[in-house]
C-alpha cells in the first residue's frame, strides 16, 4: 500500500483503488509531484490489500481505512484480444468489484466517489462524436460486451445511489490511456503499449515490425499524467452525478498507423513495418466529444501526443526488466 505522507487528520482521506495500475500510478505521481494538498491523505491500494471481488475483504478495507473520498480505478482491464477471449470474466469480475466498492462507500458515508468508465463501452452503432448522453443508447461492440455492460452499470448505480440516498457518486469516461507503468504485454495489453514493446523487440532483433490489423482504425489517446491531473480536478471540483468524458479533442484523433509511426520515430526504429490483416481491427472509431470538459476547463493543456509517446517509450526502455509485459 502506498500511503501519501500527508496527515489529513481533520481533512480528506482519499482512497484510490487500482492504485498500482497505469492510471493509479499516474495519479500517485502527480500527488507526490505537488498536486496533493496538506489536508489530504492519499492512500493507493492494489489487489494485495484486498481482493475487491470479495465483499467481506472490501468492507474490511473500508473499515480499516475510513476513506472520506474514493477514486475507484480497480478493474479487470485488457486490450481487444483479451476482451474477445474472456467476456464472461470481464463481466463477472467487474460487476462484483464495482458493486462491492460502491456499496462499501455508501455504507461508510463516503462523501464522493469518482469511478472510471471508458469510451469503448459506448454503442457500436452510433452517430459521432459520441457524448455523455449516449452511453446506454444501444449494444456495445461485440468484442468487449462483457466489460462494456459491467462499466455501464456503474452509471446506473451512481444514479440509483443519488436518487435513493443523495450520494455524490460520479464517473469519468477516458479515451484510450497510455503512459509509464502500463501493461506492455503484446497479446493482452492495449494497442499503444503493445506496439511500443513490439518496436523495441524489432529494433533489438533486427526484425520487421508486425502491426495487427489494417492500421486504419482511429483513436483518441490520453496521456496518463494528463488524465491524472483531470481526475484530481474532478474529485475536487466536478459535482455532477452525470459522467464526464476526459479526452483530447476530436481533431487529435490518430489512426493506428499514425500512432505506430510516432513510436517508430520516438524509438528510432529503421526497419520495415507490415500489417497482419488477418487480425481483427476492433471498432473502427469511437470519436468522443470533449466539449463538456472544455466548458469547465477551456484552458486545460494536454501534453502533445509525440512528446507523451517519447516519454512513455523512454520509460519503457529504462524500466524494461521490471515493466509489466
Ligand X SMILES: NC(=O)c1ccc[n+]([C@@H]2O[C@H](COP(=O)([O-])OP(=O)(O)OC[C@H]3O[C@@H](n4cnc5c(N)ncnc54)[C@H](OP(=O)(O)O)[C@@H]3O)[C@@H](O)[C@H]2O)c1
Contact set with ligand X (CB under 6 A): 18-24, 46-48, 51-53, 73-77, 97, 116, 118, 174, 176-177, 183, 190
Burial (CB < 10 A; 0-12, 13-18, 19+), residue 54, is middle
Q: Residue number with the shortest CB distance to ligand X? A: 21
Residue 159 CA to residue 195 CA, distance in Å, equals 38
Beta-carbon contacts of residue 83 (< 8 Å; ≥ 6 apart):
90, 143, 144, 146, 147
Angle at the Cα of 98 from the Cα atoms of 151 and 16, rounded to 5 degrees: 105
Smallest separation (angstroms) from ligand X to the CB of 44 = 8
Angle at the Cα of 233 from the Cα atoms of 153 and 121, rounded to 5 degrees: 25
Beta-carbon contacts of residue 11 (< 8 Å; ≥ 6 apart):
37, 38, 39, 40, 41
Smallest separation (angstroms) from ligand X to the CB of 9 = 27
Indicate the residue among 183 and 287 with the shorter CB distance to ligand X.
Answer: 183
Look-up of cell digits 515490425: 209
Give the active site residue among 86, 128, 147, 238.
147
Residue 22 CA to residue 180 CA, distance in Å, equals 7
Contact between 33 and 65 under an 8 Å Cβ cutoff? The reply is no
Smallest separation (angstroms) from ligand X to the CB of 18 = 3
Indicate the residue among 184 and 273 with the shorter CB distance to ligand X.
Answer: 184
User: What angle do helix axes 145-165 and 87-107 make, rounded to 10 degrees?
Assistant: 20
How far from each other are the two terminal CA atoms of the chain, in whole angstroms? 22
Residue 203 CA to residue 267 CA, distance in Å, equals 8
Smallest separation (angstroms) from ligand X to the CB of 96 = 8
Our answer to whether residue 147 is catalytic in this structure is yes
Smallest separation (angstroms) from ligand X to the CB of 274 = 25
Joined grid coordinates for residue 13:
482521506
Indicate the residue among 51 and 261 with the shorter CB distance to ligand X.
Answer: 51
Helices (H) and strands (E) in the chain, counts: 10, 13
* Residues acting as catalytic residues: 147
Amino acid at each position: 500500500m502506498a500511503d501519501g505522507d500527508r496527515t489529513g487528520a481533520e481533512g480528506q482521506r482519499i482512497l484510490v483503488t487500482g492504485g498500482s495500475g497505469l492510471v493509479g500510478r499516474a495519479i500517485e505521481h502527480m500527488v507526490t509531484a505537488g498536486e496533493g494538498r496538506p489536508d489530504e491523505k492519499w492512500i493507493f491500494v492494489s489487489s494485495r490489500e484486498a481482493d475487491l471481488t470479495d465483499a467481506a475483504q472490501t468492507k474490511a478495507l473500508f473499515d480499516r481505512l475510513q476513506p472520506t473520498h474514493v477514486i475507484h480505478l480497480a478493474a479487470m482491464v485488457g486490450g481487444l484480444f483479451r476482451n474477445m477471449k474472456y467476456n464472461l470474466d470481464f463481466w463477472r469480475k467487474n460487476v462484483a468489484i464495482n458493486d462491492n466498492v460502491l456499496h462499501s462507500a455508501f455504507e461508510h458515508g463516503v462523501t464522493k466517489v469518482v469511478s472510471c468508465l471508458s469510451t469503448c463501452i459506448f454503442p457500436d452503432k452510433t452517430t459521432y462524436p459520441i457524448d455523455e448522453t449516449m452511453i446506454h443508447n444501444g449494444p456495445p461492440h461485440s468484442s468487449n460486451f462483457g466489460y462494456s455492460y459491467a462499466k455501464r452499470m456503474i452509471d446506473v448505480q451512481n444514479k440509483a445511489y443519488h436518487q435513493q440516498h443523495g450520494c455524490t457518486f460520479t464517473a469519468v469516461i477516458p479515451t484510450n490511456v497510455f503512459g509509464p507503468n502500463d501493461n506492455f504485454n503484446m497479446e493482452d495489453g492495449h494497442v499503444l503499449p503493445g506496439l511500443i514493446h513490439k518496436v523495441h523487440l524489432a529494433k533489438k532483433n533486427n526484425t520487421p515490425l508486425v502491426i495487427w490489423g489494417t492500421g486504419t482504425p482511429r483513436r483518441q489517446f490520453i496521456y496518463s499524467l494528463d488524465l491524472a491531473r483531470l481526475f484530481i480536478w474532478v474529485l475536487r471540483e466536478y459535482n455532477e452525478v452525470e459522467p464526464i468524458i476526459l479526452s483530447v479533442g476530436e481533431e487529435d484523433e490518430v489512426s493506428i498507423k499514425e500512432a505506430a509511426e510516432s513510436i517508430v520515430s520516438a524509438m528510432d526504429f529503421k526497419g520495415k513495418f507490415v500489417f497482419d490483416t488477418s487480425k481483427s481491427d476492433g471498432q473502427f472509431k469511437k470519436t468522443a466529444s470533449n466539449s463538456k470538459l472544455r466548458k469547465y476547463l477551456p484552458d486545460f493543456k494536454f501534453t502533445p501526443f509525440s512528446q507523451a509517446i517519447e516519454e512513455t517509450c523512454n520509460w519503457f526502455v529504462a524500466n524494461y526488466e521490471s515493466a509489466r509485459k
